[in-house]
Amino acid sequence: MTPDTTTVHSVDTTETQPTTNATAAGVTNNGDARAAASDAEEFIPPPPPPRVPLSPDEPTTLAEVFTHAVSRHPKRDALNYKRDGAWRTISSAELSERAHLIAYGLHALGLSRGERAAILSESSPEWTLTDAGCQFAGVVDVPIYPTQAPPQVRYILDDSGARVLFVRNRAAFERIFEAIDGAPALEHLVFFEPEGAEEIGATTLDALIERGRARRTEQPELLNEIARTVSAEDLATIIYTSGTTGEPKGVMLTHANLVTNLIDSSGHLAFSEQDIALSVLPLSHVLERLGMYMYIYHGMSVYYAESIEKIGDNMRDVRPTIMICVPRLFEKIYARIQEKATAAGKLQARMLAWAVSVGKLWAQHTVEGKPIPPLLGLKHDLASRIVFSKWRAGLGGRMRLFVSGGAALPEEIGYIFMGAGVPIVQGYGLTETSPVIAAGTLEDNRIGTVGRPIKNVEVRIAADGEIETRGPNIMRGYYRKPAETRAVFTEDGWFKTGDIGLIDGDGFLKITDRKKELFKTSGGKYIAPSAIEARIKGSRFVNQVVLIGNGRKYPAALIVPDWEQLRAYTQHKGIRDAGQTPAELCKHERIVDLMQRQVDAQCADLSKYERVKRIALLEHELSIEGGELTPTLKVKRRVVDEKYRDVIERLYAED
C-alpha cells in the first residue's frame, strides 16, 4: 500500500543490543511472547526500526520501572486514597515491599512466569499494587472493567486462561458469579476487601501478602531469578478491547511496548516530581494505566478519585496539577458551570456567555500565533478575574495540564478551557499502540489536532485516508487470533488504526473519523458521523447524540437532551405545560422545535447532504449498563440501531 503522506518522527536506526532470555533454575519459560500468543499458527508483525535508549540505565521492563521509581524518587505519599473520610498514604518503599510480597504470593499459589491473572475492580491502590506484583512475578495480568457484562467477563477468563481472579469485594463477585462459575482455568479468587471472602472460599489480598512473606523466607532469591529471565519482549499484559463489533480481542502488549511508550510520551508532556495527579479513569483503560506508570516513574504523588460523582470534591481536596480524562468529563464540567450560571439568574448567565466568547477568541488568537489586540487582552484579563478565576478555584487552583484521550475532544471545549486558563492537551492512540501515537504540548497546543507523533513513533496516511503507524509501541498481536492480527497490518508492517485523518503542513495529526463508522446515504454521499455529532454536542441543550442515516436519503439524529438545561429553559420561557419528566419534555412541541433549531444552528455551514434533517429525542441516557456504550464510553452504533429501530423507522416514515 502506497501512502499519500509520510511523517517519520525521531527514529534512530542504530543497532540495539539483543536481549537475553536465559531460563533460571526453577523458573519456566512459558512467558515467552511467541509461545503465549496462540495455540494455532501465529502471525508476528515485522519489528519496527530499532530504538536507542535515552540513557544507559533506562528501564526495559515494568518491574524495572517500579524499582527505578523507588530508588530515584523515595516519597512518603507515593499513592494516596480516601477511606472513612480521611486521605491515607502509601510510601514508595511500602509500594515496593507490598508488590514484592504479592509477587511471592502469586508463586505460592503456583503461578509461574507467563501465566495469567485477571484484575476486575475499580481503580484503587490495591489495583496498582497487584499490577506491580504481577510484573515482579513475571505474571501476565488481564484487566477487566468492573462494568463489563458477566458473559464478557467469562469470555475473557476463558480466552486468556487466567488462573487467578482479583476482585474488589463480595458484591462485585456476586454480580458475575453465575457467569463465571465453572470457568475451566480459574483456580483462585482474591478479594481486595476482606468482608465475605471466607464464606465463599476466597482468599484476601492481605492473606496473599502473608503467604508471599512466607515464600520469600523460603526462597529469598526467587524474584531476582525471575528478573534475570524476563525480557523486554515478554508479554506484560493482555488487554481486551471493548468490542463495539463482535467479541472482544485480547491485545498482547509487551514490556517493551509499554515502557518505551511511557518514556517517550511522558517526555512529551514534561511530567516532574513536583506534579500531583488525580487518577479518575479506570485502570482497566490503557491510557490511565500508562498514566499511572508515568506518575510513578517520575516520582509524582498520585491520588485516587473516590468516584465519578466525587471528582469535584476530590479536586478541591487534592488540588492536583495534572489529570488524564476523556472528553465526556470536560463536557460535564462545562455543563455544570452553565447550569449554575443559569440557576443564578440572567445576569450571571450573560456574564458567563460574555466571558466564554472572550476566552474563545483569545484562545484562537493564541493557537494561531496572532498578536492579541489590546482591547481583547483587557477583556480577557477582566474575564479571568471575575469569571475564570472561580473555575480554576473549583478545579483546585493549581491545575496546569489536562490530558484528553479516548475520543475526539470537541474544538469548542478545547478553546473554552484554554481561554479559561486550564488548557487541555489532546493525545491519540489505541490499546493496540500502548496507547500513545501522538500528543500535543502546552507550548504548541494546536486545538483541533492530536499533536505530533511522539518520539520513535512514525505515522503515515494511506491512499484511502486511513492512519497507519509503526514503532516500538505496536502490540505483539491479538491473543489466539492470528487472522485478526494479520488483517490489521499492511504488507510492509505498518499497523492500520481504523481511523481516518490527515497531517498538516506543520506535522500535526488531525483525526476526522473512524473508517468503519463512515456511512453512505442513498444518494451516494459519504457521511462522517463523529464530526457532525461533535458539532451538535456544542449545544448546551444536548447531552448525547448519535447520527444515523446509512442507506437513507439524509442523516438524522437521536438525541438525549440535557434535562436540567431544558427545565431551566421552560421556566425562563414560561412554558408551563411542558412537564418536568424526560418523557414529558421529549414530547412537547416547543422542546422538539428548540432542539431542531439547535441542531440546525450547529450544522448551518455543513454541506447540504451532511445537514441533519430530522431528530428524535430519547428519554433514557445511553449507558454501559444499557448496552449502548462500551466500557470506554464509545457508542455501539449497531446496538443503538437495533434498540431504537422503531424510533428510526418512524423518523424516516414521516417523509
> How far, in Å, CA of 543 to CA of 621, rounded?
8
Task: List helix spans (H) across 409-511.
Answer: 411-419, 482-487
Q: What is the pLDDT of residue 29?
A: 37
Dist. CA 42–CA 34, nearest whole Å: 8
Quote the pLDDT of residue 33: 40
DSSP one-letter code for 78: S
Q: What's the mean pLDDT when you consider all of the chain?
A: 89
| Residue ranges of E strands in 242-318 | 250-254, 276-279, 301-304
Q: Is the pLDDT of residue 35 over 50?
A: no
C-alpha grid cell for residue 233?
Answer: 519482549
**Residue-wise pLDDT tens digits, 395-416:** 999 999 999 998 888 899 999 9
User: What per-residue confidence (pLDDT) applies to 583?
Assistant: 92
The predicted-structure confidence for 94-122, as pLDDT tens digits, reads as follows 999 999 999 999 999 999 999 999 999 99
Which residue did the predictor score with more confidence, 148 or 53?
148
pTM of the shown model? 0.84
The total number of residues written for the chain in this structure = 655
Q: What does residue 437 show for φ and ψ, rounded to 5 degrees?
A: -105, -45
Indicate the pLDDT class of residue 17, thresholds 50, 70 and 90. very low
164 or 38, which is more confident:
164
| CA 249/CA 240 separation, integer angstroms | 5
Question: What does 311-347 look like in DSSP terms, one character per residue?
Answer: HHHHHHHH--SEEEE-HHHHHHHHHHHHHHHHHT-HH
Residue 339 vs residue 304, higher pLDDT: 304
Bigger pLDDT: 29 or 133? 133
pLDDT for the residue numbered 543 = 93
Q: Which of 2-6, 285-289, 312-316, 572-576 has the lowest mean pLDDT?
A: 2-6
Work out the average pLDDT over 233-260.
88
Distance, CA of 441 to CA of 498 (rounded, Å): 25
Q: How confident is the model at residue 243 (pLDDT cuts 50, 70, 90)?
A: low
- Comparing CA positions, the residue from 53, 420, 485 lying closest to residue 259 is 53
The more confident residue out of 513 and 354 is 354
- Are 324 and 287 in contact by the 8 Å Cβ rule? The answer is yes
The letter for the amino acid at 230 is V
Spatial distance between the Cα atoms of 563 and 561, rounded to a whole number of angstroms: 6
pLDDT tens, position by position, 456-508: 999 999 999 999 999 999 999 999 999 999 999 999 999 999 999 999 999 99
The CA distances from residue 404 to 53, 55, 128, 199, in Å, are 27, 29, 22, 43
**pLDDT interval class at 332 (50, 70, 90):** confident
What's the rounded Cα separation, in Å, for the pair 48 and 483? 20
| Cα–Cα distance measured from residue 492 to residue 44, given in angstroms and rounded to the nearest whole number | 13
Dihedral sign, CA of 283, 288, 292, 293? Answer: positive
Instruction: Report which of residues 523 and 140 the model is more confident about.
Output: 140
**Region 44-69: what's the mean pLDDT?**
86
Mean pLDDT of 560-583: 88
Statement: residue 227 has pLDDT above 50: yes
Burial grade of 565 (CB within 10 A; 0-12, 13-18, 19 or more): middle
Indicate if the pLDDT at residue 10 is higher than 70: no
Please work out, in degrees rounded to the nearest 5, the angle formed at the alpha carbon of residue 149 by the alpha carbons of 197 and 637: 160
Q: Give the pLDDT mean for 355-369.
A: 96
Give the pLDDT of residue 516: 81
Region of residue 493 (phi > 0: left; psi between -120 and 50: alpha; otherwise: beta): left
**Residue-wise pLDDT tens digits, 534-555:** 899 989 899 999 999 988 889 9
Domain ranges of the chain: 62-230, 518-653
Give me the DSSP letters along 591-629.
Answer: HHHHHHHHHHHHTTTS-GGGS--EEEE-SS---TTTTSB
State the architecture of 518-653 in CATH terms: 2-Layer Sandwich (3.30)
User: Per-residue DSSP letters for 461-474?
Assistant: E-TTSEEEEESTTS
Residue 566, pLDDT > 60, answer: yes
pLDDT (average), residues 60-84? 96
In 3D space, the residue among 300, 285, 258 whose CA is nearest the CA of residue 59 turns out to be 258
Q: What is the pLDDT of residue 11?
A: 36
State residue 5's pLDDT score: 39
- For 98, the enclosing helix (H) or strand (E) is helix 92-108
Q: What are phi and psi of 254, to 5 degrees?
A: -90, 170
Q: How far is CA 500 from CA 124, 522, 593, in A?
A: 35, 22, 34
Calculate mean pLDDT across residues 288-292. 96
Under the banding of pLDDT at 50, 70 and 90, the label for residue 160 is very high
Residue 6 has pLDDT above 80, yes or no: no
How far, in Å, CA of 483 to CA of 475, rounded? 15
Q: Which three cell numbers stand for residue 490?
A: 499492511
Question: How high is the pLDDT of residue 246?
Answer: 61
> Is CATH 3.40.50.12780 what the domain over 62-230 is classified as, yes or no?
yes
pLDDT per position as a tens digit, 509-529 = 999 888 888 888 888 887 889
Tens-place pLDDT, residues 379-395: 999 999 999 999 999 99
pLDDT of residue 34: 39
